[in-house]
Structure 1
Amino acid sequence: MAEITLTPRAAKRINEIMATEPEGSMLRISVNGGGCSGFQYAFDIESKRQEDDLLVERDGAAVVVDQVSIQYMDGSVIDFVDDLIGQSFKIENPHATASCGCGTSFSL
């Protein structure tokens, strides 16, 4: 079974975002072709979970990942960083061989 981990910082930020969304909303993270390195992460808010989605939960935060994206994200750690260049979700992906400065694009 695939495994994706949320850090406490990511869970806290997801909960802050979802506090302004309708009840039952969750963050969907997916991998799409494109970006400057070949693949890119997409972040969306959804109210419905698909039957075959992987559900990742921590401290009340919920993230769903579709079956196609799981193969690219298995073993990843989702974190939230707040540094000089701004705030963003950061995905530490063990399958990525290179990434881009934008932080949402990677190659395998």
Structure 2
Amino acid sequence: MTAGILSEMQGSTPVKEITISEFGAQKAQGILASSGKENAGVRVFIKSGGCSGYQYGMAIDDRELEGDTIVIDRGIKLLVDQMSLSLLRGSEVDFVENMMGGGFTVHNPNATSNCGCGHSFRTDGAQSPDGEGSGGCSSA
């Protein structure tokens, strides 16, 4: 009977609030290793602004603040503050490379539209704040 309970518990892995892709984890590992901060992680947060209303932000952080959700995925510690979590829940941090360079991005299932090459997003389908444009990814 105990073995049955253990196998059921092992089969029901809790869903992570936020994840990181394999390539994103590789890139983050290198950045964290060179940061000089012991036990640092990647803080993912939302701030107001951008062409759609919200912008993603990321930083190397060795502090765990009250209310933070801390997820370890692929060996990387992801820290998300309480206010940002509702907008980031279910998201995946990734690293993309293209002809313009490379950088971290967030694949967010909560975003109903985005602009600024995916750095800005909106969740409710409403118009951009203050009539701001759609932003776009230009190579100018």
Global fold match (TM > 0.5): yes
From 99, 108, 112, the counterpart of 1:93? 108
On the 8 A contact 2:41/2:61 being kept in 1, the answer is yes
Q: What does residue 48 of structure 1 align with?
A: 63
**How many matched pairs?**
108
For 1:11 and 1:52, how far apart are their aligned partners in 2? Answer: 24
1:1-108, aligned counterparts within 5 Å? Answer: 3-21=17-35, 22-108=37-123
Which blocks of at least 5 consecutive residues in structure 2 are unaligned? 1-14, 124-140
Deviation at 1:2, TM superposition (A): 6.3
What fraction of aligned residue pairs are identical, expressed as a percent? 38
Q: Which runs of 4+ in 1 moved over 2 A?
A: none
Which blocks of at least 5 consecutive residues in structure 1 are unaligned? none
Query: Bigger radius of gyration, 1 or 2?
Result: 2
- TM-score between the two structures when normalised by the length of structure 1: 0.90
Q: What does residue 9 of structure 2 align with?
A: none
- Compute the RMSD of aligned alpha carbons: 1.5
Q: Which has the higher contact order (CA 8 A, sep 6+)?
A: 1
